[in-house]
Amino acid sequence: MRIPKSSLLNTWSTGSADLFLIQCHDPCALVEILSWDSKCDSIPERETVDALHFAIKKVKSLQQQQMFEVGDKADDNLTVKWIPFRKKLEDIVCSRCLPLLSKLCYTEEQNNGALSRNAGLMRALCDLISCCAELCGNDLTEKLAAVAVPVLLSSGDNESLEATSHFDVDTAIEVIACAVPFLRPEQIHVVDKVQSAAVTCIKTGKDAVVSKVVVKLLFSLLNNNHLKKSSVIRIWESLNAWQAVDNSPGATTRILLCLTALSDYLLPSADTDATETIDLRVSEGFWELVQKGLTHRDNVSRKRALYLLKRSVAVSEEMKSAFQSCQSTDNAVSLFWWSPERNRLIVDFWEDYMLIMETLDETQQMVTLEDVANFIQHFKTDESLSRGTLLWTQLCDWLHVNDSVFKPMEGVSVSQPGRPAVSVYVQHLVEAYMKVPAGEGNSCFMPDWFEAELVAKMVLLASDVEEIQGLESETHKPKQKGLEQLLYPLLDALRRLSTNVYLPVLKTDKSLQLLFKLLHISYTTSSPKSHDTVLTTLQDCILSTTDEVLEYILRRLTSELCLLSDLGRCCLYISVLRELVKLYSVVGWRRGSRFWSFIKSLTKNSLLNLQANRTEQDPQLVTQIQKVVSMSSLAWVCEVASHNTDLQIVSTDAVKALINYISSAKLNQTLMKPAACEESQGPQDGATLQGWGRVAAQCVHDQWACLHFVLNKFAKLLPSSSDIQANGDLQNSMPAVSCPSMTLQCAVEALAILPSDQVLPVLSCMKILVPKIWRSDASLCVESMNLAWKVVKDLNSNPQDFWTTLEAFIQFVFDANLLRITVEDGCLITTKVKETFVVGILDKVYQAGFCNNQASVKYLIEWFLMLTLYCYPEQLHTFWDCFRYDQEKSKTSICTFLSVLTHFDILLENVIDKRTHLKKALDVILLWCFNHNFAVRLYALLALKKVWNVCRSACSEDVEFKVLAPVIEACLQQVEYMQGSGNAMKNWQRIQEHFFFGTFHPLKDYSIESIFYTFPSLSDLADDEWIPLWKFSELVEFPTNSSVSLNNPRKELGDLETGDWVQQDKGECENDAQWIDVQKKIIPWKNSIPDQDLELLYQERAARLGKFSNALIVVASLIDKPTNLGGLCRTCEIFGASALVVSGLHYINDKQFQSLSVSSEHWLPLVEVKPPQLINYLQQKTAEGYTIVGVEQTAKSQSLTEYTFPEKTLLLLGNEREGIPANLLQHLAVCVEIPQHGVTRSLNVHVSGALLIWEYTHQQMNRRRKTM
C-alpha cells in the first residue's frame, strides 16, 4: 500500500520517525516515496529534500544500532537489503539530485547570477549528496568526481565549459566537496584527478572561484585523515612547480593565497604530529616565494607573505631546532636559517624587520615628496630619526631606490638631470622657507621651530641621498657641491647679517633657526664614519659665515633686544652659540679665534648693562629686558667656561670681573615689573606683562647658574663649618663663597619662589653647599632636602622637566660626600628624611588599597605593605586604621588588608610586643568573619587560621588567648570539615591553594624576577606584560651584594601555574555559586545553542521590544580594545543586529567596555568565538547561507556606496593595527572599503564598523518599505 507523502512528512515532524522506520519493511520504497518526481519540471520544496535527508540518516542510525540486519529473515520487523539500498541512494543522487542542481544553476544564470531563493535548496541538496556518499562508498564518490572534475579542468575555458557541462564551477566544487571526505587511499586515481583539477582551477579560475577551491576542496582533502600526508605533499609540489615556471605577479598572488590558508598543514608546531605535516621552512622555493610576496605590488599579497614569515619565525622560536633552508650545495646562500644558541637575537632581528616592513607598507602608495616630508615630521630627532641611526640610513636608501617613482608636485619640477628628485624638491623647500612675505618682515612674533626642523632634516637627507648616488656613479664628486647649492639661500642671508641693517628680523630669525637645527641634527648618534663628506661640507659652509653671525648676535644681545617678545630671540641666539661651541670643539679652536674676542665683548657689555646706575623707582621695559638678556648671556659664558677648559677663558679679565660680580651680587633680587611701555609695537607686548613673573624667574635662574660656576670653581675654599673663619679678603669680596650658610638659605628661598621647572641650577648649588655646613646647620640641610623633594613631586605631570629635575635631586641628596658624612655622624639627616618619606608613602599606598584594583595590582599593594611594615614595625599602628572605615566603604577593598594579615607572622618578626598586635589582629579579623558578604568572610577565615597559628606558638600560655581558643578552633574545624554540595568548600580549598596564600613568601621571594615576571604570569596578565630577566641583565649589572637579587633564589614560585582563584574584593555576590562561574549572557559559541535558536532569540527580543531587527552578525573577535568593543556593542544593539561575536565574554566586565556600551550588552546577544575558532565559525556560517563581508582595503575591494548587502550578512571586522589576518581573507565572499578623501590612512575600527552597520540597516529598511 502506498503511503501518502503528506502523512510521512507529518510523521517526521511529530517525532515518530524511529517507530515508523522500525515498522517499515522496505526502506527503498520509503526513500522512493519521499523523493520528488525527476520527470516533473517543477522544482521541489526544500522541506522535501530535508525530509529525504532525514529519513536516510535515520536508516543509517538504526542500522548502526543493529536494529537492521543484512539478510532475509521472516521474523524481522524490517529487513534491509543493504546493497539494493545503496544502489537506490546512488540512483537518487544521479537521477534526481544532480539534474536538479543543473536546473538550479540554469535558474540562477537566468537571474543574472544574483542570489536566488533557491540557495537554501542547493545547500540542502549538497547535504543530501554528502550523506549518500558516506553510505554508498567508492562507487558514488567516483561517479561524483567523474561528473564534476571535467568542469574544474575547463574552468578557464568558458566555451568548453558551456559545451561539456550543465554545471557551473561553483556547483561542481560543491559536488566534489561532498565526495572528498569519503575518498579512500585505494582510490588514488580519483584523488589525483581531484588534486589536479583543484590546482588547474587555482591557476585559471576567477578569484572568487580560487578562494572557494581552497576552502572547500583543499581543506576537505587535508581533513581526510586517510589522505592528509600525501595530499599536502602533492599540493605543495604542484604549487612549487608552478612558481618555478611562472614568475608573474598573478601566479605569486594565488600561490600565496593557498599557502596562507593551508599554513597549519605546511608549517609544524609543538602540538602537531610531525608525520602528518611537512616543514616548508627548509624549502628554498618557499622562501623565494615569500621574498617575491614581500615586494609584490598588491598589498594583500604583501600581507600574506608577511603572515607566512611571522608564522615561520613563531614556529622556529617555539621548536628551537637548528636548520637552514638551502642544503643543496655548500656555497649556496640560505634565505632563512635558525640556531637555538642565538634564538633571542634572531627573534629580535625578524621582529624589527617585520615592523619596518609593516611601516613601509603603509606608505607604499603613490606619494609625493611632500607626503614623505610630512611623514618625517612626526619622528622626534632626539629619540628615533637622528642622523647616523639605522632608521635614517634605511630612509636614505629608500629615497634613493624609489627616486623615479614619486608623484610629481604641482609647481615643482622634480626632474633635473644628474640630481635626485629629493634634492630638487628640497631646493624648492629651502627657497620657499627663506622667503619672507612683504609686510611681515618686522613682525614681533618668532617663526615656527617645527618648520626649521623639517627643512633641516630634508636638507641632510637629500645630501646623504646625493652621497649614495655619487658613490654608485663612476665619477664620484670630490666634494659635496649639492649641499652648498641647497644651502645657498641660507648662507647668503647669514653673510648679510652684519652688513645689511635693513634685513627683515623675520628672515634673520628663520636663518638662525635653520642654522641651529642643521648643526643640532647633523651630529651622528652612532659611531662616526671615517670621512663624512656631508658633515665636513656643512661645517665648512657654516664656518665661512660665523664671523658675521657672531657680530650680529653680539650687537643684538648687548644693545638691541628691548621688547618682551625679544626674550624668545635671546634664547634662539644662545642656542646658536651653544651649537657653534660644539662645532669649534670638533674642528679645533684655532678656527675660532674670533670667539675669544666675542666672549670678552659679550661679558664686558653684559656686566655694564647689569651694573648701570639706573633708577629703580620707575623702571622702563627696555632697561629690564636688557638686564634679563645680559644675565642670560653671562649664564652662557659660565657654561662655556665650565665645559670647555681648553678654551682657557677663566683667566681672562672679563671672566674674573664676572666672578666678582656674581659672588657679591644680591641673590633672588626681584626684577621689578616695568611701567607701561610706549615702545611696544603691538598689543602683544603690553598684554604679556601679566606673565612678568616668568621673566623675573628666568633672571633668578640664570643668576644661580652663574653662581654654580663660581661655587664649583671655589669649592675647596668654602669653609666647612661656622667655627672655621674664612679668609678675610674672600669674605669681603665674595660673600656668596665665604658664607655658605647664608647662600644655602638663599637657595631655600629660591626653591620657594622659582617655578618647579627652573630649579636645576639651585639644586646644583645645594649639592656643593650642604656637605660644607651639615654640622653647623643640620636643620637647614633637612629643610632644603624636604623642599627640594616637594618641588620634584610638583613636576610629576610635566615629563619634559621631571626627569632632569629628579636626576639633579638624586645627585644632591645622594652625593657621595654627603652620604659619607651622614654615615660618620649617625645618619641624622637621612633618618629624619626617611621617617617623613615612609609615612607619606604608606598613607598613599593605604589610599590605593581602598580603590577597586585588578588582581595583579592588589598583589603588589599587599606585598608592598608587608615589606614596609616588616622593615618599619613602628608604623604598624597605622595599619589598623585601615579597618576603622564604615563597612559600606570598606566592603569593596577590605580583602586587600585581610590578605596582608595572612602573612602576619612575617610582620611580627621585628616587633617586640607581639601579644598586643596579635590581640588587635584577632579583634579585627573576628569582626569581619561575621560579614554578610561571602568573599569577605572567606578572606577573614583564612586570615584567622594564619594568625591563630601564630598565637598558638607565641602566646599559648596567655589567659586571654586560652579563653578564645575553644571558640576559634571550633570555628576553624567547622570550616575545614564543612559538608554539602555547594561551592563554599571548593572555594575554601582553592583560596588556600592559591600561590599568594600558600607558596609565596614576602621576604624569600623578593626579587626582580618575582616582581616583573613571576607575579604577572601568575596574575593571569597577558604575556606581553611579563618582563623577562634577560632584558634586565642586558641593561643593568646587578652586584652580588645588592639588596634585591635579579633571580628568585626559590624555585617553588616559578614552578606554579595560574590557579582558578582570582582575588576579588567586590561584595555584590550573595550566594556561593557566583564565585565559581561568572554569569554570562550567552555561553561560548562552540557550546551554544543551534544558530536557528539564536535567530529565534533575536526575533523574539525584537518583537518583545517592538523594535526593528535584522539578520546581521557582527564578528569582532579580532578586536582586543575594550573601548572599541563597547562602542560596537552599543551600535549593534541600537541598529538591531542579531548578535555581536567577541573573543571573550570577560570584556563585558571591563570598565572601559561598560563606559562605551552603556548597558547595551544586556539587550544584545553576545557570542564568544576565540580567534583560533574563527575559520570553523566562518565555514559554518557560510554553509548556513551567510555572506561573509570583510572590512578591508584591497585591490579588489568594493566601495561601500556601491555594494548591496544580502539579508543574511556576517560582517568581519579586522584588528585595530593589522586588519584581517591573511589566513582569513580567502573565507571572505567580498571585501568592502569606505571611500576616503583625506590624508589619514584609515578610520578607527569602531567607526568603520558603525558605518557599515548603518549602511546595512539602511538598505534593509528600504527593502522592507518597498515590500509593504
List the CATH number of the domain containing 1109: 3.40.1280.10
Q: Indicate if 124 and 141 belong to the same structural domain.
A: no
CB 225 within 8 A of CB 218: no
Tell whether 367 and 463 lie within a shared domain. Answer: yes
Beta-carbon contacts of residue 999 (< 8 Å; ≥ 6 apart) = 1052, 1053, 1056
In this model, does residue 66 exceed pLDDT 60?
no
User: How far apart, in whole angstroms, are the C-alpha atoms of residue 1012 and residue 980?
Assistant: 40
Whether 1188 is in a domain gets the answer: yes
Number of structural domains (the chain) is: 6
Match 622562501 to its residue by C-alpha cell.
287
Q: Do residue 893 and residue 945 come from a single domain?
A: yes
Q: Which three cell numbers stand for residue 310?
A: 611571522
Residue that wins the pLDDT comparison between 435 and 684: 435
DSSP 214: I
Half-sphere exposure of 84 (CA within 13 A, CB side): 13
Question: Which of these ranges, 622-631, 776-785, 1081-1090, has the smallest mean pLDDT?
Answer: 1081-1090
User: Helices 855-871 and 894-901, interaxial angle, to 10°?
Assistant: 50
Whether 853 and 820 share a structural domain: no
Are 800 and 914 in a shared domain?
no
Domain-ending residue, one of 801, 826, 851:
826
The pLDDT confidence band at residue 512, using thresholds 50, 70 and 90, is very high
What pLDDT band is residue 1188 in, cutting at 50, 70 and 90? very high
Q: How confident is the model at residue 849 (pLDDT cuts 50, 70, 90)?
A: confident
Range scoring the smallest mean pLDDT among 495-504, 667-676, 788-797, 917-926: 667-676
Residues 6+ apart with CB under 8 A from 768: 708, 711, 712, 715, 718
Strand partners, 338: 323
Q: How do residues 98-128 score in pLDDT, each as one tens digit?
A: 888 888 876 655 554 444 457 788 888 888 8
843 located within any domain: yes
Q: Which one is predicted more confidently, 27 or 871?
A: 871
Which of helix, strand or coil describes residue 409? strand
Amino acid type, 558:
T
Average pLDDT in the 273-287 region? Answer: 78
Helix or strand (DSSP H, E) at 629:
helix 621-643
Residues 820 and 774 in one domain: yes
In this structure, is residue 895 part of a structural domain?
Answer: yes
Give the 3-state secondary structure of residue 870: helix
Does the pLDDT of residue 796 top 60, yes or no? yes
* Domain interval for residue 765: 714-826
Single-letter amino acid, residue 274: A
Q: Are residues 415 and 532 in the same domain?
A: yes
Quote the pLDDT of residue 210.
85
Mean pLDDT across the chain, nearest whole number?
78
Same-domain status, 129 and 147: no
- Residues 173, 122 share a domain: no
Average confidence (pLDDT) over 631-652? 85
Contact in structure between 812 and 763 (CB atoms under 8 Å): yes
DSSP secondary structure string for all residues of 311-342: HHHHHHHHH---EES--S-TTPPPS-EE-GGG
> Mind listing the pLDDT tens digit for each residue in 1119-1139?
988 999 999 999 998 888 889
Strand pairing report for 323-324 and 337-338: antiparallel
Residue 869 lies in a domain: yes
| Residue range 34-42: mean pLDDT, rounded | 77
Q: In whole angstroms, what is the distance from residue 160 CA to residue 1010 CA?
A: 70
Cell numbers describing residue 64 = 548502526
Which of 826, 850, 876 lies at the terminal end of a domain, its last residue?
826
Q: Is 982's pLDDT higher than 70?
A: no
Nearest partner of 148 among 166, 131, 127, 163, judged by Cα: 166
Residues 6+ away with beta carbon under 8 Å from 404: 421
What's the confidence (pLDDT) of residue 813? Answer: 82
> Which region among 36-45, 151-160, 817-826 has the lowest average model confidence (pLDDT)?
817-826
Q: Is residue 361 very low, low, confident or very high in pLDDT (cuts 50, 70, 90)?
A: low
Confidence band for 830, pLDDT divided at 50, 70 and 90? very low
Q: Distance between CA atoms of 5 and 48, rounded to whole angstroms?
A: 9
Q: Are residues 770 and 809 in the same domain?
A: yes
Give the gyration radius of the chain's Cα atoms. Answer: 41
Q: Among 202, 226, 250, which residue terminates a domain? A: 226
Query: What pLDDT shows up at residue 1084?
Result: 34
The DSSP output letter for 1219 is B
- Domain assignment present for residue 1074? The answer is no
Strand partners, 1167: 1141
pLDDT of residue 1069: 37
* Strand bridging mode 1113-1115 / 1139-1142: parallel
Closest-CA residue to 287 (of 325, 331, 344, 338):
325
- In the predicted structure, residue 352 carries a pLDDT above the cut 80: no
pLDDT at 158 over 60: no
Query: Do 535 and 405 share a structural domain?
Result: yes
C-alpha 697/C-alpha 757 separation (Å) is 10
Name the 3-class secondary structure at 589: helix
Residues 6+ apart with CB under 8 A from 253: 296, 298, 300, 301
Helix 778-794 / helix 740-753 crossing angle, nearest 10 deg: 20
Give domain status of residue 969, yes or no. Answer: yes
Q: How far apart are the C-alpha atoms of 923 and 1223, rounded to whole Å? A: 61
Torsion of CA 467, 472, 473, 477, to 10 degrees: 30
Does residue 649 belong to any structural domain of this protein? Answer: no
**Mean pLDDT lowest for which of 807-816, 830-839, 870-879?**
830-839
Q: Give the DSSP letter of residue 1015.
A: H
Q: Determine whether 1215 is exposed, middle or buried from the number of CB atoms within 10 Å of its CB (0-12, 13-18, 19+).
A: middle
In a domain, 555, yes or no: no
Same domain, 765 and 842: no
DSSP codes joined into one string, 973-1002: HHHHT--SSSSHHHHHHHHHHSTTTTT--T
